[in-house]
Structure 1
């Protein structure tokens, strides 16, 4: 029918616009957040763009769910506001007949939600974790930055260099402190350079400096002067320990622990949430001309936040063993589906009143 083609076309245009707005907001937020991580030394500045891209891919499913719900509400609300819905309803088109064109429009979106929830989310999390782990577990020399104190993640050492060559092979005015068995060792040097031994071990060779050894609070400190002093560079190998958020969906089912099943329930919940919100958006789009135009948008935000937070609560309860797998998988979504049926029924009951009022005006 004409109204089906018109509805699907307008839904497609609106969904594209809503998704672009959400993507812009999300990109801006993630850029500020990840650039902050890079500034604080938690991630490599060279990996900022890659991490932003991986994070966006991981949250595509959530953005698509919001896009689907908001676009349906926007389009049908506008139809109510411009009296297009009144025309269709008064011409014999029931509210239930809007389900078919909405479902046709939503099926590709639901498939994308499922793909990004089951595939995109774990893949992006695994890649992001690997990139962060490689950066955090790099050797101590790569941690150094001129004019900054840096703590080694693999030993009890704190480094400070005033100047450093671009290739990190030469440093000037070096300060190194380490703690072991309650004793503190402080090494200061005017300059130094890096050397690699035959067996592959790397050293920072300090020149023309002093070393102070002793226990804080006691006067028996030892002071030694040296011309060359080697500090071995420790490096911890990259260990990629799988977490539920980074495991594939099949791996979650092969290892059915509480945490893994909870993660599977969350991923499946995104698809079921998208389907429920898709249907709920049809009756909720009713627009009273006397109400403000932003009420439906505020209502959509509150409904989505409530639904997603309840889904997170279900996931947490499953991780703690307080809820069974079957109850966590279908319990919340079955309840929302019942609410959708009730809201549809209430909205359909009001339709004859609207029709009679229109006919009475026409007869007058």
Structure 2
């Protein structure tokens, strides 16, 4: 039918444009955030692009939900504004007949949301955690950068080197300070290199330098000169605490703890949110020529933010044991579905969702 083909074609064009805008915003935001982590030494600069890609994959389900909701709302609102909807309604097309073509268009997107919610989200979080843990487990020499003060994550030491060879085997003009038992040790050296013992221990061997030992505020500092001085390189031991966001969906169900069930309820809620918002966009798109053109978009943003925040609240309640898993899994979505049905009923009977009297009364109050 011409009506269905026209609607689905315009929905596809609009959804593509909305998704590209959301993707651009997401990439820009993640780039600023992750580059900041790399600048502060929390992640490897060489992993920035990979981490950005993994983060985008993790949030694709949310981006697709917003894309679906906004694209349907935009297209139908434009039809009302340009009187195209009036023509279709006069031709015998009812509001309920909009559901079929919109559902056909939305089905592939909802399937993608299911995939990224149950597979993409945990996989991207797991890979991001592995990359960050691998970077944090590097030894102290790997964290050094010429011309910068770097604090050791494994001990109370601060390093500064002026120059370093590309293979990190030789350094020049080294400054090392550490605190042990209330005493401050300061070591300065002109040159140095790394050595590995037979037992696997690694050392920075400093040459032609001095060591200053003493307590701050006390005059009894000891000054020692040395030709060779070894500083043991320590590695940070990272304790991998399990995070539910990185656990695969089958493992969540295999180990049904409160945290795991709450995470599963959150993942299952994403496609249910997409279905409810898909249906809600049909009656919400009604455009009154006398009303502001931006009110539909404002309402869409408020509805989505409220819905997603309520899903997070439900997840928290399941974790705390305040809400049972079954009720938390479907309760919120059933309530929203009932609300959508009521709004549909108002739209079919040509009753306004918001009246001027409502706003007048609220102003008078």
Tell me if both proteins adopt one fold, taking TM over 0.5 as the criterion: yes
Per-residue deviation, 1:134:
1.1
Q: Shift in Å at residue 55 of structure 1?
A: 0.5
Alpha-carbon separation, structure 2, partners of 1:222 and 1:254: 61
Q: Is 1:55 matched with 2:41?
A: no
CA distance, structure 1, for counterparts of residue 26 and residue 270 of structure 2: 18
**3-state SS, counterpart of residue 211 of structure 1:** strand
Query: Which runs of no fewer than 5 residues in structure 2 stay unpaired?
Result: 352-365
CA distance in 1, matches of 2:135, 2:254: 31
Aligned pairs (5 A) from 1:53-132? 53-132=53-132
CA distance in 2, matches of 1:241, 1:30: 24
Match runs of 1:9-24 below 5 Å: 9-24=9-24
Aligned-residue CA RMSD (Å) = 1.5
Once residues 165 and 319 of structure 1 are traced to their aligned partners in structure 2, the CA distance between those partners, rounded to angstroms, is 51
2:264 corresponds to which residue?
A: 264
Give, in whole Å, the separation in 2 of the partners of 1:238 and 1:40. Answer: 18
Counterpart residue number, 1:294: 294
Write out per-residue CA displacement over residues 107-132 of structure 1, whole angstroms, 9 at most, x where no aligned residue. Answer: 11110000000000010011111111
- After the TM superposition, which of the residue ranges 159-168 and 338-347 deviates more from structure 2? 159-168
SS at structure 2 position matched to 1:350:
coil
- Aligned equivalent of 2:3: 3
Aligned partners of 1:320 and 1:210: how far apart in 2?
Answer: 57
Distance in 2 between the 1:155 and 1:272 partners? 49
The answer as to whether partners of 1:130 and 1:240 remain within 8 angstroms in 2 is: no
Determine helix, strand or coil for the equivalent of 1:290: coil
2:231 alignment partner, SS class: strand
Render the CA deviation track for 1:41-66: whole Å, top value 9, x for unaligned: 11111111101100000000000000
Contact 2:136–2:236 at 8 Å: present in 1 too?
no
Shift of 1:343: 0.3
Gaps of 5+ in 1: 352-364
The C-alpha deviation readout for 1:202-222, integer Å capped at 9, x for no partner, is: 110001111222333444433
Q: Residue 134 of structure 1 contacts residue 238 of structure 1 at CA under 8 Å; is this kept in 2? A: no
**Which residue number in structure 2 is paired with residue 339 of structure 1?**
339
Deviations 1:57-100 (Å, cap 9, x if unpaired)?
Answer: 00000000000000100111111111111112122221111111
Supply the distance in 2 between the matched residues of 1:261 and 1:158 (Cα, whole angstroms).
44
The offset of 1:303, in angstroms, is 1.1
**Distance in 2, Cα, partners of 1:67 & 1:231:** 56
Q: Deviations over 1:292-312 (max 9, x none)?
A: 322212221111111111111
Matches within 5 A, 1:1-364: 1-236=1-236, 240-350=240-350
Using the TM superposition, give the Cα deviation of residue 289 of structure 1 relative to its aligned residue in structure 2, in angstroms: 1.4
Paired residues in the alignment total 351
Give the Cα separation in 2 of the matches to 1:350 and 1:236.
Answer: 66
Check whether the contact 1:214–1:221 (CA below 8 A) recurs between aligned residues: yes
